[in-house]
Amino acid sequence: MRFLHRLRQDRRGSAVIEFAIAAPVLLVMLLGIWDMGHMAYLTAILHGAVQQVARNDSLEGADTTQADTYVSNIVRTVAPGATVVGKRMSYYDFTDIKRPEAWNDKDGDGKCDNSETYTDENGNGQWDADIGSSTNGGANDVVLYTVTVTYTPVFYIPFMSSGNKPRTITASVVHKNQPFALQAKYGTTAGVCK
C-alpha cells in the first residue's frame, strides 16, 4: 500500500509524457507557419519581379524572352523547380482589355455564330472573344502581363489533405508602352461568323 502511494506521488517522467503529447501539435503548427511564410515570400518576390519586368518591357526594343528568364530565375531562387509561365496580351487602349471584337449578336447568345457579322479589329481574319494580341505590343499599346507559377511546397505538413501537392500562384500587371512611334490602329475589315 505504501508502494502504491509513493508511486502515485512520483512526478518524475511526467514531462516526457506531456512533451510526447504536445510535440506533434507544436511541430505541425510550426510547419504550417513556415509554409505560409514561404508562400507569402514567394508571392511578394513574384509580384516584385513582374512589376520590374513590366516597367522594362514598356520601353522600345524590350527583350521579352530575357524578361521572362529574369522572372523565372528570381522565382526559382525561392521555389526551386517551379514552373514559370509568362503571358502577354496587348491592346490599343485600357478599355479594350479582355473585350471581344465588335459583332452583330442577332440571336443574343453572346457568341459570334450563325452568320452574324463582325469587325476584324485585330486583323487576324477571325472573330475573337478577346481582342488582344499575344505580344508585347507596339508604341503606346496597353499590355496585360500575367505570370503563373506552379511549385511544390518546401515544407511538408503531415496530416493535411493537401500534403505536398503542387500549388499555383499568379501575378498580373498592366502597363502602357512608351510612345516611341505612332500607334497602330485596330482594323476595320468586316467578316462573317461561322
124-169: pLDDT as tens digits: 888 888 998 888 988 899 999 999 999 999 888 777 776 678 999 9
pTM: 0.79
User: What integer pLDDT is reported at residue 162 of this predicted model?
Assistant: 67
Q: Is residue 105 part of a domain?
A: yes
Closest listed residue to residue 96, CA positions, set 62, 127, 125, 121: 121
Contact between residue 66 and residue 136 where contact means Cβ atoms under 8 Å apart: no
User: What integer pLDDT is reported at residue 163 of this predicted model?
Assistant: 66
User: What integer pLDDT is reported at residue 166 of this predicted model?
Assistant: 92
Domain hosting residue 34, numbered range: 12-192
Q: Is residue 175 part of a domain?
A: yes
Q: Is residue 6 part of a domain?
A: no
Q: In total, how many domains does the chain have?
A: 1
User: What integer pLDDT is reported at residue 37 of this predicted model?
Assistant: 94
- Residues in CB range of 44: below 8 A, 6 or more apart: none
Closest listed residue to residue 71, CA positions, set 137, 167, 146: 146
What residues in the chain have per-residue pLDDT under 50? none
**What are the phi and psi torsion angles at 123 (to 5°)?**
70, 25
Closest listed residue to residue 123, CA positions, set 99, 90, 101: 101
Q: Is residue 21 part of a domain?
A: yes
Closest listed residue to residue 100, CA positions, set 147, 52, 132: 132
Three cell numbers at 85?
A: 509561365
Task: Give CA angle at 86 (182, 129), nearest 5°.
Answer: 65
User: What integer pLDDT is reported at residue 63 of this predicted model?
Assistant: 93
User: What integer pLDDT is reported at residue 6 of this predicted model?
Assistant: 73
Q: CA-to-CA distance for 125 and 129, rounded, in angstroms?
A: 13
Q: Is residue 3 part of a domain?
A: no
User: What integer pLDDT is reported at residue 7 of this predicted model?
Assistant: 63
Q: Is residue 2 part of a domain?
A: no
Length of the chain: 194
Q: CA-to-CA distance for 194 and 188, rounded, in angstroms?
A: 19
Q: CA-to-CA distance for 147 and 88, rounded, in angstroms?
A: 9
User: What integer pLDDT is reported at residue 188 of this predicted model?
Assistant: 81
User: What integer pLDDT is reported at residue 191 of this predicted model?
Assistant: 85
Q: Is residue 43 part of a domain?
A: yes
Q: Is residue 7 part of a domain?
A: no
Three cell numbers at 8?
A: 502515485
